[in-house]
Amino acid sequence: VPEPSSPDRLPTIEAVAAAAGVSKTTVSHVLSGNRPVARATAARVRRVIDELGYRPNTLARSLKMARSQTIGLVVPDVTNPFYPALARGLQAALVDSGYLLLLADTGGDPDAERAFIAEALQRRVDALVVSAFGLTEEELDRLAGAVVPVVAVGAELAGSRLDCVTADDERVAADAVAHLRARGHERIGTIAGPAGTAVADRRLRGFSQALEREGRFDATLVAYGDFTRDGGRAAAHALVRDPAERPTALFCANDLMAIGALDAARAAGLAVPGDLAVVGVDDIDAAGLVVPALTTVRIPSGDIGRVAGELLLSRMEPEARRAPRTILVGHELVERDSS
C-alpha cells in the first residue's frame, strides 16, 4: 500500500487521475491534446487539475521525451553589456517555443568553460550558445558538437564544424583603420584582446592586414588587454608611455578597453582626439556616455542573440543535418568625438 501523498509533496498526474476517476493516460492527453478526450471527461479533469493546483513535473516529461527545453548560454562576462543584450535577443527568439536559458558566466576561464559545458550536457540541454574565450574551436566541437547543436556567437571559428553567428571581425577592424587613415593618422596602434581567442585574433588580423596593405603596420604598436576597462587602461598606458614612440590613434578591440584607453590618456595628460584618437568596438551604452563620446564600430548584439536562437530552432528540427553555417551580422561605424 503506497503512503498517501504527504502535504508538502506536489500533486502528481497519478493524484489527478485518481481524483478525476480516469487513467493517467487520459489526464496526460487532456494536457497535451495529443488525443481527443470526451468533453465531459476533459472538463472534469481540468477542474481537478485546478483544484489540486497540479503542474506537470517537467523533469519527468523531459526524461521521457529526451528533451529538456533548455538552452545553455555560456558567456565570458555578464557584466560586459554586450552579453546581456545578446541574452535578451536570444531569449526573445526562444521563449515562444518554450525554451528557457541556463546561464553561465565563466570569466573567460577555460576550465570554467569546460566545466559548465559538461554540466549543461549532463543536464541534457537541447542546444548550446557559447561565447568561448579559453576554448579552441576544435575543443568546443569535440566537447559538445557531437551531442547537441552548438552555435558560437561573437566570433567566427575558421573551418569549424560548428554554426556561428558573428560580425565580420576582420572587416570591423579594417573599417576602423580606414576611418582613422581618412582622418590622417599614420601611427595607428591597437589594443587587442587576449591572444588565442577567436574574436581577438580576427580583429587583430583585420587590423594588421589593413595597415600592411599600406605598409604602415608597426608591431611595436600592438598591445594586449583582456576586454575589460582595467585591461585596456593598462595596455594603453604601456603604449603611450614613451612620447617618441607613441601612436596617434588607437583601435581597441572592444568598448570597455577603449574606455580604459580614455582613462589612460587622461592620466597621461593626452587630449583625445587631439593627441590620441580612440576607436572601440561594440557600441555599448557607455560608449555614448563617456567624454569624449567614443567613436566605435557598432555590433548588433541583440541581433546576434536573436539570429543564434533562430538558427538553433532550425537545428533542433528532426531533419536538420545540414552543413554548418556562419551567419554574419552587419556592423556600422558610429563616429563620435574620440576620433
Partner DNA sequence: CTGAAAGCGCTTACAG
Positions in the binding site for DNA (CB under 7 A):
2, 9-10, 12-14, 21-26, 28-29, 31-32, 34-42, 54-57, 60-61, 63-66
CA 184 to chain CA mean position, Å = 35
Rule CB under 8 A: is residue 271 a binding residue for a second copy? no
Window 282 to 321, contacts with a second copy (CB under 8 A): 285-286, 289-291
CB of 82 to a second copy, least distance (A): 10
Binds a second copy by CB under 8 A, chosen from 37, 83, 197, 281: 83
Name the residue with cell 595596455.
235
- CA–CA dist 50, 44 (Å, integer): 10
211 or 312: whose CB is closer to a second copy?
A: 312
**Cell numbers at residue 332, please?**
556600422
**Cell numbers at residue 86, please?**
545578446
- CA–CA dist 50, 273 (Å, integer): 66
Binds a second copy by CB under 8 A, chosen from 79, 212, 220, 267: 79
CB of 81 to a second copy, least distance (A): 7
Binding partner selected for residue 335 from DNA, a second copy, none, CB under the kind-specific 5 to 8 Å limit: none
44 or 179: whose CB is closer to DNA?
A: 44
Rule CB under 8 A: is residue 118 a binding residue for a second copy? yes
Binds a second copy by CB under 8 A, chosen from 35, 47, 123, 213: 123
CB of 58 to DNA, least distance (A): 8
Continuous segment of H or E residues that includes residue 112: helix 110-122
Give 216's contacts (C-beta < 8 A, 6+ positions apart).
186, 188
40 or 219: whose CB is closer to DNA?
A: 40
91 or 209: whose CB is closer to a second copy?
A: 91
96 or 242: whose CB is closer to a second copy?
A: 96
Rule CB under 8 A: is residue 327 a binding residue for a second copy? no
CA 311 to chain CA mean position, Å = 14
Binds a second copy by CB under 8 A, chosen from 16, 19, 22, 87: 87
Tell how many helices (H) and how many strands (E) occur in the chain. 12, 12
Within a 13 Å sphere around the CA of 205, how many CA atoms are in the beta-carbon half? 13
Helix axes 229-240, 255-267, angle to 10 degrees: 50
Amino acid identity of 38?
Answer: A
| In 28-167, beta strands by DSSP E | 70-75, 100-105, 127-130, 150-153, 163-167
Pairing of strands 222-224, 188-192: parallel
319: exposed, middle or buried (C-beta count within 10 Å: 0-12, 13-18, 19+)? Answer: exposed
Rule CB under 8 A: is residue 183 a binding residue for a second copy? no
Binding partner selected for residue 103 from a second copy, DNA, none, CB under the kind-specific 5 to 8 Å limit: a second copy
- CA–CA dist 222, 262 (Å, integer): 17
Rule CB under 8 A: is residue 334 a binding residue for a second copy? no
Kindly list the residues in this chain that would bind a second copy in the complex (CB under 8 A). Answer: 10, 55-60, 62-63, 68, 70, 73, 78-79, 81, 83-85, 87-88, 91, 100-105, 116, 118-124, 147, 229, 259, 285-286, 289-291
